[in-house]
Structure 1
């Protein structure tokens, strides 16, 4: 990871497939992203993958500071040329998944820890980025952002915001919803990008939170969710048989007023937490 201060020619850069780059061109979509962030002049923004800076330029006049992390060295040179003179802009070159932002910012006293994230992230690393921002059920992230606004693949956005009983509802839904409230803001068609990806996209907004009634054993909850969705066609009493005997699980489901033939997607987050607590008590 390096701080990029170099300049380069004004030539246009083509999207790099290796980094999953697609340039967002839609003014409507860009405005929707900015609006979803609900920015104030005191906000400190983290932007992951600023690309050519088309979103960055809209954000900078609205906020106190913006820290951008870009892995592509050529794009860093272009961004430095365009925005390097902005006092509230700090560009870091490196892999967001590997860098320690808190430690890096200690070298830049004018830039405090960001309180919001606004980004059009690479779709091929959406999962790892979400995990770094939110943490895991068993180990939530220590840095709590006020809000996270991301442009993601439509299928992923639908899974993150899915409700019990729907096709999109799964382990990812539960793991993220345990750590944050999630809402789908705006649909962005593939034609809004250059080059257009093979899928449509959506703008989502996450509000990291500490759940009011967390699981007694978060690690057990995470494990049960993984097992529960291992085979969506099977009932929970079969998928969780390695943890609890089917007859015992049926008793617990009935205790929670849940159908004994329930499948993983039939249980809400609250149901999963209660079931995890009951199974945990039996194993003590």
Structure 2
């Protein structure tokens, strides 16, 4: 029995209910090609393989790779890539995969999401059907937070620009070995293209980052390096937005509108 390694953020999922919920959420079809990040001992993998065309598992732990090669030696639709998923270039085979289903290491959730979805200024060219992940509950709450909520922040907006997110079910710490110090949830993330993209996506990305730098400050103060506070007050008031607004009070469409106005304004600097 291979023991979970803390440095890789490993916690073996042992709950049949959680596994069933993940599989159900994945809406597997025979033609599906699945990417699984961090398969661990293969407890999820063995439920995926009989139902899909192919599973590509990416595992960084050398000992686990040996175990997985032995365990699934008889499965022709199992492919294993040994290495750090975040360090991989998007290998040609990845372009054939239409879904991601995984119990990922929680400490790299943000980088994994960026790798899969891209960024506001550079979205991923691959349009996956959807992504089903088991992640930390606190992070999931940030992904689905509404404006004005304490969990609403830059991560919320960056992911919301690229995808729709929903929490499917909660998974308690006791569902893992060893139990993590946090509760978890299954999330379904459905990538999509934005209906009304900003004129300058890189600028939108920039002002979102600046806006949430100093969360309790008013937006006009956080954006001071690129626009005079008094000018921003006028702009906000013209669109019936409180001039004293904070970053967490604006929804995605508000941010896109603000980005378009500021990027066109001769009075707006680069910061």
**TM-score, length-scaled by structure 1:** 0.91
Does residue 130 of structure 1 match 2:113? yes
* CA deviations over 1:185-234 (Å, ceiling 9, x no partner): 11111111000011111111111111000111111111111111111111
Q: CA RMSD in A?
A: 1.2
Does residue 157 of structure 1 match 2:140? yes
Match of 2:96, SS state, is: coil
Structure 1 outlier segments of 4+, above 2 Å: 100-103
Q: Does 82-91 or 267-276 show the bigger shift?
A: 82-91
**Structure 2 portions without partners, runs of 5+:** none
> Do 1:137 and 1:178's aligned partners in 2 also have CA atoms closer than 8 Å?
yes
Inter-partner Cα distance in structure 2 for 1:249 and 1:269 = 18
Inter-partner Cα distance in structure 2 for 1:89 and 1:255 = 57
Does residue 43 of structure 1 match 2:26? no
Match of 1:246 in 2: 229
> Do 2:95 and 2:126's aligned partners in 1 also have CA atoms closer than 8 Å?
no
> Do 1:44 and 1:112's aligned partners in 2 also have CA atoms closer than 8 Å?
no
Match of 2:82 in 1: 93
Inter-partner Cα distance in structure 2 for 1:279 and 1:22 = 46
Match of 2:87, SS state, is: coil
What is the number of residues matched between the two proteins?
Answer: 267
Q: CA deviation at 1:69?
A: 0.5
Does residue 171 of structure 1 match 2:160? no
Q: CA deviation at 1:112?
A: 6.8
Does residue 16 of structure 1 match 2:5? yes
> Do 1:148 and 1:205's aligned partners in 2 also have CA atoms closer than 8 Å?
yes
* CA deviations over 1:66-90 (Å, ceiling 9, x no partner): 1101011100111111112101111
Match of 1:217 in 2: 200
Inter-partner Cα distance in structure 2 for 1:101 and 1:230 = 31
Which among 43, 64, 85 is matched to residue 75 of structure 1? 64
Inter-partner Cα distance in structure 2 for 1:223 and 1:151 = 29
**TM-score, length-scaled by structure 2:** 0.96
Inter-partner Cα distance in structure 2 for 1:228 and 1:113 = 37
> Do 1:102 and 1:113's aligned partners in 2 also have CA atoms closer than 8 Å?
no
Inter-partner Cα distance in structure 1 for 2:239 and 2:163 = 24
Q: How does 1:190-269 map to 2 (within 5 A)?
A: 190-269=173-252
Inter-partner Cα distance in structure 2 for 1:28 and 1:81 = 26
Does residue 60 of structure 1 match 2:46? no
Inter-partner Cα distance in structure 1 for 2:73 and 2:160 = 37
Match of 1:142 in 2: 125
Inter-partner Cα distance in structure 2 for 1:184 and 1:25 = 20
